[in-house]
Amino acid sequence: MERKEEVEEVPRGELRTLLRNLRRSRTATFGLIYVIALVIVAILAPIISPFDPYAQDLQNRLQPPSFPHILGLDEFGRDVLARLIHGATVSMQVGLEVVLLSLLIGVVVGAISGYYGGWADMVCMRIADIFLAFPSLVLAIGIMAVLGPSIFNVVLSLVIVSWPYYARVIRSQTITLKKMDFITAAIAMGASKKRILFTHIIPNAIPPVIILATLGMGSAILAEAGLSFLGLGVNPPIPSWGSMVASGRDYILQAPHIVISSGLVITITVLAFNLLGDGLRDALDPRLRI
């Protein structure tokens, strides 16, 4: 133990400690387990789904939960559970794509902005500000209205509204990192700006953004559900939790199981991501050093 305080950082070797810290919080653990389970469901959907989500059985439409349709049937006689499972694939796909693409754009823009500064920085940040000025869902709705519903367009519109958040965080991380001694040391050994940016700055700027990304998945999933609810999301008959809530809404009195199950799944999923994100933030916090 030395007199000076340690710089906040999470090197790769700390994964085990990270998991240990996460497990200390019951809510974070729940979040982690749920998310992992959801990923598995999303990937194995065609295998684990008990029924074909598109198979209609109009005679038994709106059937309440019973065996073998554990969660009942929707307004077209399709198995609700099967649609929820396949909806998970859609949600996870959208969530992952949105986050990864926004992260990519955000990292590039933010790192270049923060590192080079000057005009590039100003221009990029003003553009980011423009996007940030709009309420993101409204902007996404506007874009979807122009582009038309499809998974690709949903991802595109959500990426457009989310990249500025990542860019800002990466930019401020970059500005802080730029001043650190190990960057000066790299300059002193003749490292090019490109090398410094890619091998030193970006790997160190990303860890705090992981938390943002986790929470971001939750909001992307929620946003997709919202867009689909408004009919601006994925095309029917592709199952989406949001559109299930929308169509189930018309039958809320006769067949509440549709709205309840799809609404519940959205709520718990977003909650799980938030709990995981919060748990990550606490787990990555440098412990009180006395």
Partner 1 sequence: MDKDKVLLEVRNLVACIETGSGLVKAVDDVSFDVRKGEIVGLVGESGCGKTMTALSIMRLLPEPFGRIVGGSIYFEGQDLTKLTEEEMRAIRGNKISIIFQDPLTALNPIMKIGEQIVEAIVSHRKVDKNEAKRRAIELLHSVGIPDGEVIASQYPFRVSGGMRQRVMIAVALACDPVLLIADEPTTNLDVSIQAQILELINEIRRKRGTSVLLITHNLGLVAWLCDRVFVMYAGKIVEHAPTEALFANPYHPYTQLLLKSVPKLDSPRDKLTTVEGEVPNLIKPPSGCRFHPRCPYVKEFCRTVEPALIKVNTDHYTRCLMQDSRYSGEWK
Partner 2 sequence: MAENVLVEVKDLTKHFPVTKGIVFKKVITTVRAVDGVSFEIEKGKTLGLVGESGSGKSTTGKLILRLLEPTAGIIRFDGIDITNLPQDDLKDLRKRTSIVFQDPYSSLDPRKRVFDIISEPMVIANWGDRRKIAERVHELLDLVGLRREDASKYPHQFSGGQRQRIAIARALALSPDLIVADEPASALDVSVQAKIINLFSSIQERLRVAYLFISHDLSVVRHISDKVAVMYLGKIVEYGPTDVIFEQPLHPYTKSLLTVVPVPSPKLMKNRNPIILRGEIPSPINPPPGCRFHTRCPYALKRCSEEEPHLVQARPHHFVLCLFWKEIEEGVLGPAVR
Binding residues among 163-182 for partner 2 as defined by CB under 8 A: 180-182
CA distance 205 to 173: 5
Q: Is 287 in the site for partner 1 (CB under 8 A)?
A: yes
CB closer to partner 2 out of 199 and 267: 199
290 touches, from partner 2, partner 1, none (C-beta below 5 to 8 Å by class) = partner 1
Q: Which of 257, 223, 255, 256 is nearest to 242 (CA)?
A: 223
Q: Is 16 in the site for partner 1 (CB under 8 A)?
A: no
Binding residues among 195-234 for partner 2 as defined by CB under 8 A: 195, 199-200, 203-204
In the list 18, 55, 130, 185, the residue contacting partner 2 (rule: CB under 8 A) is 185
182 touches, from partner 1, partner 2, none (C-beta below 5 to 8 Å by class) = partner 2
Q: Is 11 in the site for partner 1 (CB under 8 A)?
A: no
Write the interaction track for partner 1 spanning residues 18-57; mark x where CB under 8 A is met and - where it is not: ----------------------------------------
> Is 212 in contact with 98 (CB distance < 8 Å)?
no
CA distance 200 to 189: 13
> Is 55 in contact with 1 (CB distance < 8 Å)?
no
189 touches, from partner 2, partner 1, none (C-beta below 5 to 8 Å by class) = partner 2
**Can you give the C-alpha Rg of the chain in angstroms?**
22
CB closer to partner 1 out of 1 and 188: 1
146 touches, from partner 1, partner 2, none (C-beta below 5 to 8 Å by class) = none
Stretch that binds partner 1, among 1-9, 56-64, 113-121, 270-278 (CB under 8 A): 1-9
Residues paired with residue 79 on neighbouring β-strands, in sequence order: 73
Instruction: Please say whether the dihedral angle defined by the alpha carbons of residues 265, 267, 269 and 275, taken in this order, is positive or negative.
Output: negative
CB closer to partner 1 out of 6 and 181: 6
Residues 6 or more apart whose Cβ sits within 8 Å of residue 191? 200
CB closer to partner 2 out of 24 and 193: 193
Stretch that binds partner 1, among 64-72, 113-121, 202-210, 282-290 (CB under 8 A): 282-290
CB of 81 vs partner 2, minimal distance in Å: 44
CB of 3 vs partner 1, minimal distance in Å: 5
Write the interaction track for partner 2 spanning residues 10-49; mark x where CB under 8 A is met and - where it is not: -xxxx-----------------------------------
Positions touching partner 1 (CB under 8 A) are 1-3, 287-290
Positions touching partner 2 (CB under 8 A) are 1-7, 9, 11-14, 122, 180-182, 184-191, 195, 199-200, 203-204
